[in-house]
């Protein structure tokens, strides 16, 4: 290998290491959804803030156990160290988060997130300029999350263009250019 190839390999390795630091685990993605953080905000705080690195992902583990073992709400509240009303809200939020995070593609995740945001806006009363502005803000957050997911998938939005228009949400060309990594949600 000549010096130029060595140099280019070193740059590739450095860029790949930097990119891999930006990938979130499934539990981190679920935590971002359950606790209301954008993916970019969340990933910026992993390994810097214990709440993002350990505490919220541990709550996702607890919510997963709750789902598996069908705990009563009192037990879930005790495990999460919250009141019963908050435990009910977290349980519902966890179910909604799974539909977004486990979607078959970044575009499907985006569509599910937008749908949930619209449904919540309607429940809250979509009636005036302020409520419409709040909904627009939520859709913008969903677009930012889509950008993060596309980066992780090594995809361009244009690959989902026809799928977004017809509701299938599949990339037009699904050749995978990213390396596989079982510890992260990098492909759907």
Residue 182 clears pLDDT 80, i.e. is over it: no
Structural domain count of the chain: 2
3-state secondary structure of 136: helix
Residues 71 and 155 in one domain: no
Note the pLDDT of residue 162.
Answer: 87
pLDDT in tens, 137-180: 999 999 999 999 999 888 999 999 888 898 887 655 444 445 54
Helix or strand (DSSP H, E) at 15: helix 3-21
Residue of 151 and 91 predicted with greater confidence: 91
Residues 109 and 92 in one domain: no
Single out the residue in 79, 102, 125 at which a domain terminates.
Answer: 102
For the ranges 3-17, 52-66, 73-87, 155-169, the lowest mean pLDDT is seen at: 3-17
User: How many angstroms separate the Cα of 81 from the Cα of each of 14, 62, 69, 73, 97?
Assistant: 41, 11, 18, 12, 20
Structure tokens at 51: 């709440």
User: How many angstroms separate the Cα of 29 from the Cα of each of 148, 185, 187?
Assistant: 11, 8, 13
Residue 88 lies in a domain: yes
Question: Are the CB atoms for 150 and 106 separated by under 8 Å?
Answer: yes
Note the pLDDT of residue 163.
Answer: 85
For the ranges 71-75, 99-103, 116-120, 161-165, the lowest mean pLDDT is seen at: 161-165
User: How many angstroms separate the Cα of 179 from the Cα of each of 16, 20, 188?
Assistant: 10, 10, 13
Q: Quote the longest CA-to-CA distance of the chain.
A: 66
Residue 106 clears pLDDT 50, i.e. is over it: yes
The mean pLDDT of 121-136, rounded to a whole number, is 96
Domain that holds residue 152: 105-171
Residues 92 and 129 in one domain: no
């Amino acid at each position: 290998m000549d010096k130029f190839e060595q140099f280019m390999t070193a740059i590739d390795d450095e860029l790949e290491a930097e990119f891999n630091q930006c990938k979130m685990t499934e539990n981190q993605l679920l935590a971002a959804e359950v606790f209301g953080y954008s993916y970019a905000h969340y990933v910026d705080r992993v390994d810097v803030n214990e709440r993002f690195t350990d505490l919220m992902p541990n709550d996702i583990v607890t919510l997963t156990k709750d789902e598996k073992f069908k705990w009563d709400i009192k037990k879930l509240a005790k495990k999460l160290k919250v009141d019963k009303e908050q435990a009910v809200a977290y349980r519902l939020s966890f179910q909604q988060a799974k539909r977004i995070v486990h979607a078959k593609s970044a575009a499907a995740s985006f569509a599910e997130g937008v749908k949930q945001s619209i449904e919540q806006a309607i429940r809250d009363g979509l009636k005036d300029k302020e409520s419409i502005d709040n909904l627009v803000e939520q859709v913008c957050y969903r677009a930012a999350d889509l950008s993060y997911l596309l980066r992780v998938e090594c995809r361009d939005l244009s690959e989902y263009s026809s799928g977004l228009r017809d509701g299938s949400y599949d990339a037009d060309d699904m050749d995978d250019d990213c390396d596989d990594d079982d510890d992260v949600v990098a492909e759907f």
